[in-house]
Amino acid sequence: MTIDPSHHEAYDVMFPGMTPRGWRYMPSRFSKSLQFLILLIAVSGASPIRSDGRTMSRLLGLIVTFALLLGCAAGAAAQGNPTGTISGRVLDQDGLPMPGVLVTATSPNLQGVRTNVTSANGDYTIPFLPSGEYELTFELQGFQTIKRTNIGVTMAETQKVDVSLKVAALVETVTVTGTAADIVSSATVGTNFKKDTLERLPVGRALNDAVLLAPGVAGNGPSGNIMMAGALSFESQYLVNGVVINENLRGQALNLFIEDAIQETKVSTGAISAEYGRFGGGVVNMITKSGGNAMSGSFRTTQWTRSRPCTRPHSVVP
C-alpha cells in the first residue's frame, strides 16, 4: 500500500519516529492495521496537526470506528472450536426412524450429564462436549435400553453413533462394551495427540514436541521454527482453547501454558474448516484439562541449585 508523502507530518505527530519506511520492520498485522488508520485519516482530509474542534471530532470518530472493527476481527480470529460433538440416528428393528428416544451422555471429563431427544427423523445431536471418553444411553418406554461405551470425542470433530432399538418383551438393558477406533469421518487432514499417548512416548510434553510428531510438519524453518504443509514458518496458526497465541515476529506459539494442564493437541495440515482464518500452512489447536465428575489432579516439585545452592545437581523431590 502506498502512502502520500504529504502526510508524513501525520506520522510524526501521531507516531513519533515511525516514518512509512519504518513500517516494514513492524509485525505485519499491526503495521497493516495502523496503515489502514492513517489511510482513513488521509482520505477524510483530516490533518492530525490541526486542533480545531471539527477536525478533532472527525479524527476521534475514525479512531473509535477503527477500534471497533479491530475488536470484531480479533473476536472472529478466536473461534477455533475446542469441543466436540456426538450425533447419530436411532432406528427400530425394521429400519424406521424412532422419535422421542432419550439420549444421555456421561463422561469423567463432563460436569454433570448431557441429554437430547431424537427428532421425528430419529436424529439427535449433543454438541459442545469436552474431549474424552463417553458413554451413551438410549431409552424409550417399551424398548430395550442400550448403552454404548468407550466413545472417543475429539476437539472440532463430530463422532457418529447410530443404534437400533428392539421391542422389549421384558424389562432388560443391553450394554455394548468395546473400544472403538478414534476415526472420525471428516475431510480435514489432522492428527490428535492425547495426554496419555504423549506421556508414554519418549518426547517432551511441550506444545511443539507434539506438533513435530504430526505428518507434514518439520522443524527446519529459520532458527529451527516449525513449518507445516510446505508453508513458511510464520504462516501457521496456534490456538489454546480457541484463542490465538502466535507471537508477532516469527508466528510461532508463545509459551502460555503449563505442560501438566494439556489435555489434547490437534494438528491440522489440510482441508481445514473455514472456522479458522489467517493462516496459509497448518492449524494447531490445544485444549487444557477441565473439571469433571471424577477427582483428578497432579503435583510436581523440583529442587533447583539456583534457588538453593548445594554441591549436588538439581533433583526431583518425591
Q: Pick from 105-109, 172-176, 199-203, 258-262 the range whose average pLDDT is largest.
A: 105-109
Query: Of 176, 202, 224, which residue constitutes the final position of a domain?
Result: 176
In this structure, of 30-44, 128-142, 193-207, the range with the lowest mean pLDDT score is 30-44
Average pLDDT, the chain: 76
The pLDDT assigned to 218 comes to 92
Please give the single-letter amino acid code of residue 207: L
Nine-digit cell at 38? 492513517
Is the domain of 257 the same as that of 208? yes
pLDDT at residue 297 in the model: 73
Question: Which CATH number characterizes residue 127's domain?
Answer: 2.60.40.1120
Residues 259 and 233 in one domain: yes
- Please tell me which of 72-76, 125-129, 179-183 the model is most confident about, judged by mean pLDDT: 125-129
**193, 279: one domain:** yes
151 and 110 belong to one structural domain = yes
Give the domain-ending residue among 60, 77, 94: 77
> Is 184 part of a structural domain of the chain?
no
The string of pLDDT tens digits covering residues 270-309 is: 888 888 878 889 999 998 887 777 777 777 665 554 544 4
- Domain termination site, one of 55, 77, 99: 77
pTM recorded for the entire structure: 0.56
Number of domains making up the chain = 3
Q: Are residues 48 and 109 in the same domain?
A: no
Average pLDDT over residues 235-258: 88
Whether 246 maps to a domain, the answer reads: yes
Mean pLDDT to the nearest integer, 120-135: 93
Residues 137 and 200 in one domain: no
Residue 296 lies in a domain: no
Residue 19 has pLDDT above 50, yes or no: no
| Candidate from 60-64, 136-140, 150-154 with smallest mean pLDDT | 60-64
Q: What percent of the chain has pLDDT over 90?
A: 28
Specify if 57 maps to a domain: yes
**Weakest mean pLDDT among 57-66, 138-147, 185-194, 211-220:** 57-66
Averaged pLDDT for residues 106-112: 89
- Asked if 94 and 60 sit in the same domain, the reply is no
- The answer to whether residues 208 and 122 belong to one domain is no
What average pLDDT does range 203-229 have in this prediction? 89
Domain presence at residue 42: yes
Residue 189 has pLDDT above 50, yes or no: yes
168 and 197, same domain (yes or no): no
Higher local confidence (pLDDT), 179 or 14: 179
- pLDDT(317) > 80: no
pLDDT, residue 195, reads 84
Does 284 lie in the same domain as 193? Answer: yes
* Residue 159 placed within a domain: yes
Asked if residue 313 belongs to a domain, the reply is no
| Together in a domain, 69 and 92 | no
CATH (domain of 270): 2.170.130.10
Please, what is the Cα angle at 107 between 103 and 113, to 5 degrees? 50
Q: Tell whether the model's pLDDT for residue 100 goes beyond 80.
A: yes
Query: Region 106-127: what's the mean pLDDT?
Result: 93
Supply the range of the domain harboring residue 139: 84-176
Q: Same domain, yes or no, for 9 and 45?
A: yes
